[in-house]
Amino acid sequence: AIERTFSIIKPDATERNLTGKIIDKFESNGLRVVASKRVKLTRDQAEGFYAVHKERPFFGELVEMMLSGPVVLQVLEGENAIAKNREIMGATNPANAEAGTIRKEFAKSMGENSVHGSDAPETAAQEIKYFFKDEEIVG
């Protein structure tokens, strides 16, 4: 089925001017960018977005990293988009990511792993709604 998923190009990637190379991975693998904005997250936005990880030891580091520079927030659309994007990104830890994936090619570490992507239909819907109004998404 045609799905939508939520993506973040993280500060470690915008800092190295990799935005276009990452979007090319989405587009050349069948996903379409149907919403996009480049912003500096506020602390409230970053903490709220990652609230599920609040008790994890890396939460502080994760939030600081997300505040360290601009991010590109996007909605990606396509056949099986949620799983497809997870394939395109590769494993969370770049050491475990497969060849050709965004994280294998560009990520620096588990923390500075260049992209976020929704992990399931429920979280995709929730994450899209967290950052985008309906009228900002143009399919």
111 binds ligand CMP (CB under 6 A): yes
Q: Catalytic pick from 63, 116, 128, 131? A: 116
Helices 121-131/81-89 angle, 10° precision: 80
110 binds ligand CMP (CB under 6 A): yes
Site string for ligand CMP, 13-52 (x = CB under 6 A): ----------------------------------------
Site string for ligand CMP, 84-103 (x = CB under 6 A): --------x-----------
SS3 4: strand
- Residue 9 or 139 having the CB closest to ligand CMP: 9
For the CA atoms of 13, 7, 127, 64, the dihedral, rounded to the nearest 10 degrees, stands at -10
Residue 40, token pair as written in the block:
């500096």
113 touches 101 (CB < 8 A): no
d(CA 118, CA 59): 18
Q: Check the annotation: does 58 bind a ligand.
A: yes
- Residue 38 or 139 having the CB closest to ligand CMP: 38
The amino acid sitting at 25 is K
Whether 53 is catalytic is no
Binding site for ligand CMP (CB under 6 A): 53, 58, 61-62, 92, 110-111, 113, 116
